[in-house]
Amino acid sequence: MTANSPSPQSTQPTPQPSQETSQIGKQIRNLVLVLAAVALSVALFLGLQTGRTTGSLAAMAKSSMPLETALVNGKPTLMEFYADWCTSCQAMAKDMSELKQDYGQQVNFVMLNVDNSKWLPEMLHYRVEAIPHFIFLDRKGESIASTIGEQPRPIMTANLQALAAAEPLPYIQQRGRISQVEPSLTPKASAGDDPRSHGAQVLPAS
């Protein structure tokens, strides 16, 4: 009688990932990384674009309050005559955008494009020959001062603070860089009273 020999235990080798499975895993990982990089790039691009647009003339003009509304809502108004091609207007756009964020609840910000013939009556009324040309209006819509030319932010800030508080503007006779308005839209002025001869300045309203 022969002794029963122990039956050998069935041992199966641990399955190893095939080369094909490993390749698929790498491809998926690479795809995820690429998608993440693309998403990050798009977010960064949109963020930069938003930052640029916020302080641009186009964005300011788009968010500008209509003139007819500003004249009747009981708040003082800063009215800017500008043009897209005006380098001084462009240089002030970022500061003006930030000032609007600071004072937009107290002061109306209105922008009028001098290339739009719709605003020719206003240009004639305020004798706009150089831009940027800012008109400061009181709560009744009456002009109390005008600023011609590019102005430093602290000066615009001080004038806006005074305008919001219904106090006299602290800075007058300030000079700044200007852009001339095209002759076809330039209002006529008498030879002895040409605003261009005064450079860029802040003038009390007549």
DSSP code per residue over 181-200: PPGGGPPP--GGG-GGGG-S
Distance CA 138, CA 141 (A): 5
In the beta sheet, which residues pair with residue 204?
Answer: 145
Asked whether 162 and 103 are in contact (CB, 8 A), the reply is no
H-helix segments, 14-119: 19-54, 57-62, 67-70, 87-103
Q: Residues with catalytic annotation?
A: 86, 89
- Sequence letter at residue 145: A
